[in-house]
Chain A
Amino acid sequence: MTKRVGMEVSIAVAEAAKLARAEVIPAYPITPQTHIVEHLSEIIADGELDAEFVPVESEHAAMSCCVGAAAAGARVFTSSSSQGLSLMSEILYIPSTMRLPMVMAVVNRALSAPISIWNDHQDIMVQRDIGWIQTFAENGQEAVDLTLHAFRVAEMKSVHLPVAVNLDGFILSHVIEPIELPDQEDVDKYLPRFKPRYKLDPRKPISMGPVGIPEIYTEAKVAHDRAIKNSKKMIVKAWKEFAEIFGREYHPIESYRTEDADLLLVTMGSISETAMTAVDAMRDRGEKVGLVRIRLWRPFPGLEFRKAIGKAKILAVVDRCLPPGAVCGPVGAEIRSFLYKIPGAPKIFSFVAGLGGRDVTVERFEEMVDKARAYAKKRPRELYEVIGVREQ
């Protein structure tokens, strides 16, 4: 039997990569991801994991090294945050269209300027379109479970795509939580040896990453788009397998007290736990409020989202990212666009909160709910509102 032990979430995620028997780990330290790769380098140095730890000179090199290792058929893990993730940007688009599986823990942190090491989702939203499967963890256990799930999904024959597991910087990464680390035996059952569809092998030479002339580029991108869209059923299948072995169930979208709710908060990541507390408080006062949490961000699980919102009349969508000059935050824009002109679609109000480590408290969620209700009666002037701004 596995035991629940108090453990820093970063250490637990590193242990998950160890349990997954990652073979190549190219990584560069950046706050707040550092503890993950630091712990992995210790594990490897201590001989507890037979893997190659590549201490690269930058994140650009880290991701390049990941691409090479995955092309050679290795099980690859890395982790990054914020500025580091941005430095990887040029390379991030490459393994996805080239269908190279790998797993990256993205420990979400704000982007400069001003310099901020604290949590929000701007770093990954900048990389929204890299063509990776992207999931968001709510708590430490989920970060561990999603990491194992990421390896399973990435390496499925019909998927063969990189996966980014997002966990909130500090709020998750540096907090000690009760974590149940699964047995090696069970993980081995869940994660069979990686057998890539193609790999670089001098005995059977192939070329990867050639130029795509205009006659072929569109088809290559469409093939990638179809692959990630089709991956959804395999992502769900891998969660079902996970539940059978480890007993914890995951779905693309989670609902909390949505039955008969006329207003739903929509969140991603760790703020969802506070949002649940807020929902409980409002329910106690007789308000018909619920929560919908997006766990699977890419591919966007439209069908499941539609089901989850049921007959709600108002959605208050929370973004932890403020794209200056945009129509609204990326999650708000996604949902607006997805529900546009669907008969009976709810009114959607977009809020931006929790930038650069600003706490999103129960009161803030209540404020958003109250505002969304007021805006449903009287249309607001702007398409989004940043919560908690000091104007004076």
Chain B
Amino acid sequence: MANSDAIVSVKSLTFGCHILEPGNAANFRTGDWRSMRPIMDMEKCIKCGMCWIYCPEMAYNQNEEGFFIVDLEYCKGCGICAHECPKDAITMVPEEG
């Protein structure tokens, strides 16, 4: 994983490899091994938030207009949002390049 934050020396490693800062997974870019990405059709979206509820990675956040937008730093491309969307507004497309 391309994650310089995780590269620490044996001396600076936390005791027992414990995570002493709760929620610090947010500091780590964990979406870069995704092979599919969700594309949202804003025309079809009814802002119901099902994608936000079902996302196992909590990668969706609501913007000021009320739309739920995926954060690709964390999205792993599992496709649950696309599967659950009642309006078929989300399509999974292959990551390219």
Please state if A223 and B13 are interface contacts (CB–CB under 8 Å): yes
Q: A216 contacts B18, CB within 8 Å?
A: no
Measured between alpha carbons, how far is A132 from B18 in the docked complex, in Å?
Answer: 18
Q: Are A208 and B16 in contact (CB under 8 A)?
A: yes
Q: Across the interface, which residues of A come within 8 angstroms of B9, CB to CB?
A: 219
The smallest C-beta distance from B5 to any residue of chain A, in angstroms, reads: 10
A234 CB, min distance to chain B CBs, angstroms:
16
Partner of A97 from B8, B17, B19 at Cβ < 8 Å? B17
How many of chain B's residues have a CB under 8 angstroms from any CB in A?
Answer: 15
Contact status B10-A219, CB under 8 Å: yes
Q: Do the beta carbons of A216 and B19 come within 8 Å of each other? A: no
A207 to B8, CA, bound (A): 18
- If A213-B1, A220-B13, A223-B13 touch, whether A206 touches B19 (CB-CB below 8 Å) is yes
Chain A residues bordering chain B, tally (CB within 8 A): 22
Separation of A160 and B7 alpha carbons in the complex (Å): 24
User: Are B6 and A210 in contact, with the CB atoms below 8 A?
Assistant: no
Q: Is A13 among interface residues, defined by CB-CB distance under 8 A?
A: no
Q: Do the beta carbons of A213 and B6 come within 8 Å of each other?
A: yes
A198 to B19, CA, bound (A): 11
Partner of B22, one of A99, A206, A209, A213: A206
B59-94 vs A, CB cutoff 8 Å, 1 = contact: the mask equals 000000000000000000000000000000000000
| Residues in A whose Cβ lies below 8 Å from that of B18 | 98, 198, 206-208, 210
A55 at the interface (CB under 8 A from B): no
- Interfacial residues of chain B within 1-53, with CB under 8 A of chain A in the complex: 1, 3, 6-10, 13, 15-20, 22
User: Is B13 a contact partner of A219 (Cβ separation < 8 A)?
Assistant: yes
Q: Is the CB of B8 within 8 A of A99?
A: no
Q: How far is the CB of B39 from chain A (nearest CB, A)?
A: 29
Neighbouring A residues of B13 by C-beta, 8 Å? 216, 219-220, 223
Q: How far is the CA of A100 from the CA of B18 in the complex (A)?
A: 11
Q: Does A215 contact B (CB under 8 A)?
A: yes
In chain A, residues 192-224, which have Cβ atoms closer than 8 Å to a Cβ of chain B?
197-198, 205-210, 212-213, 215-216, 219-220, 222-223
Contacts of A209 in B (CB 8 A): 17
C-alpha gap A138/B13 in the complex (Å): 38
CB distance from A218 to the nearest CB of B (A): 8
- Give the residue of B1, B6, B8, B16 whose beta carbon is less than 8 angstroms from that of A98: B16
The complex places the Cα of A35 from the Cα of B9 at a distance, in Å, of: 46
Closest approach, in angstroms, between the C-beta of A302 and any C-beta of chain B? Answer: 22
Chain B residues contacting A208 (CB-CB under 8 Å) are 16, 18-19
- How far apart are the CA atoms of A222 and B18 in the complex, in Å? 15
- Complex contacts, A215 vs chain B, CB 8 Å: 1, 3, 6-7
- Nearest Cβ distance between residue B14 and chain A, in whole angstroms? 9
Q: Which of B9, B10, B13, B16 has the most C-beta atoms of chain A within 10 angstroms of its own C-beta?
A: B16
- When distances are taken between beta carbons in the complex, the residues of chain A under 8 Å from B1 are 213, 215
A142 to chain B, nearest CB (A): 30
Of all chain B residues, the one with the shortest Cβ separation from A218 is B10
Q: Check A97–B10 contact: CB distance below 8 A.
A: no
Contacts A205-B22, A213-B1; A198 near B6 (Cβ below 8 A)? no
**Given A205-B22, A213-B1, A215-B3, CB of A198 within 8 Å of CB of B16:** yes
Q: A210 to B17, Cβ gap below 8 A?
A: yes
Question: Is A223 in contact with B7, judged by CB distance below 8 angstroms?
Answer: no
Nearest B residue to A207 via CB reads: B19
Q: Which residues in B have their C-beta under 8 angstroms from that of A223?
A: 10, 13, 17
Q: Tell me, in angstroms, the Cα distance from A215 to B17 when the chains sit together.
A: 13
Specify which chain B residues have a CB less than 8 angstroms from the CB of A207 in the assembled complex: 18-19, 22
Quick check: B6 and A100 within 8 Å, CB to CB?
A: no
Are A206 and B10 closer than 8 Å at their CB atoms?
no
Contact A99 B3 (CB under 8 A): no
Bound Cα distance A207, B3 (Å): 19
Instruction: Assess whether B20 is in contact with A206, with CB atoms less than 8 Å apart.
Output: yes
Assess A197 versus B17: contact at CB under 8 Å? Given A215-B3, A216-B6, A219-B9: no
Q: Mark A35-46, 1 if CB is under 8 A from B, else 0.
A: 000000000000
Chain A nearest Cβ from B74, distance in angstroms: 16
Interface set, chain A 203-251, CB cutoff 8 A to B: 205-210, 212-213, 215-216, 219-220, 222-223, 226
Which positions in B face A, CB cutoff 8 Å? 1, 3, 6-10, 13, 15-20, 22
Q: A207-B18, A219-B13 are in contact. List 13 more A-B contacts (CB 8 A).
A: A97-B16, A98-B18, A206-B20, A210-B19, A213-B1, A213-B6, A215-B1, A215-B6, A215-B7, A216-B8, A216-B13, A219-B10, A220-B17
